[in-house]
Chains A and B, each alone.
Chain A
Amino acid sequence: MPILEVRNMSHDFGGLRAVQNYSLDLEPGQIRGLIGPNGAGKTTIFNLLTGIYVPTEGEVMLNGTRINGLPAHRIASMGISRTFQNLLLWRHMTVLEHVKMARYSKIRYGLAGAFFGTPKRKREEAEIAERSYGLLEMMGIRHLADQVVLNLPYGAQRRVEMARALATEPRILLLDEPTAGMNPEELVQIMEIVRKVHKDFGLAILLIEHRLKVVMELCHKIQTVNFGELIAEGTPEEIQNDPKVIDAYLGKENVG
Chain B
Amino acid sequence: MPPPAPISRTFRARCSRVPLLGWLSGALAAVVLERFVGTPLALAVGLPKIPALFGIDIMLKKPLLIPNAVLYTVLIYLLPIAAVALSTAFLTNRLAGGLMKLPVAVPVAVHLGLLYAALHFWADVSDYRSLVLKLTMIAIMLTLSLNVINGYMGEFSCSHPGFMALGAYCASVVTVGLFVDGNYFGIALLPGETGPFLFPIDLVAGGLLAAFGALFVAIPSFRTRGDYLAIISLAFLFIVKSLIENFEFVRGPRGMSGQPDLAGLPTVFSWAVLCVWSINNFVRSTVGKAMNAVRDNEMAAEAMTVDTRRTKIVAFLFAAFWAGVAGGLFAHVLRYVNPGTFGIQNLAEVLAMVYFGGLNSVYGSIVGAVSISLLGEALRPLEIFKWIIIPLLLILVMIYRPTGLIAFKDLEVATLLRPKQGPDGER
Residues of A within 8 A of B (CB): 50-52, 71-73, 76-77, 81-82, 84, 88-93, 97, 100-107, 109-111, 113-117, 121, 125, 128, 164-165, 167-168
Contact = CB atoms under 8 A, between A and B. Distances in A.
Given A100-B289, A116-B278, A89 B302 contact: no
B300 interface: yes
Nearest to B310: A73
B281 to A, nearest CB: 4
Interface of B: 278, 281-282, 285-290, 292-293, 295-297, 299-309, 314, 318, 360, 408
Contacts of A50: 303
Contact of B318 (A76, A93, A115, A165): A115
B286 A168 contact: no
Contact of A73 (B295, B297, B307, B360): B307
Contacts of B289: 93, 97, 100-101
Contacts of A111: 287, 314
Contact of B292 (A71, A72, A92, A105): A92
Contacts of B306: 73, 101, 104-105
A103 to B, nearest CB: 7
B304 A164 contact: yes
A92 B408 contact: yes
A116 B278 CA distance: 6
Given A90-B300, A107-B287, 18 more contacts: A71-B309, A72-B302, A73-B307, A88-B303, A90-B292, A90-B295, A91-B297, A92-B296, A93-B292, A93-B293, A101-B301, A104-B304, A105-B307, A113-B285, A114-B285, A115-B278, A116-B278, A117-B281
Q: 3 closest Cβ contacts across the A-B interface? A: A90-B296, A105-B305, A72-B302
Given A77-B305, A101-B306, A168-B304, A116 B293 contact: no
Contact of A114 (B287, B296, B299): B287
A89 B297 contact: yes
Contacts of B287: 104, 107, 109-111, 113-114
Contacts of B300: 84, 88-90
A45 B50 CA distance: 73
A92 B296 CA distance: 7
A5 to B, nearest CB: 21
B285 A52 contact: no
B286 A104 contact: yes
Nearest to B305: A105
Contacts of B318: 115
A76 B292 contact: no
Contacts of A121: 285
Given A52-B299, A73-B307, A90-B300, A103 B281 contact: no
Most buried by B among A51, A104, A113, A121: A104
Nearest to B302: A72
A91 B215 CA distance: 28
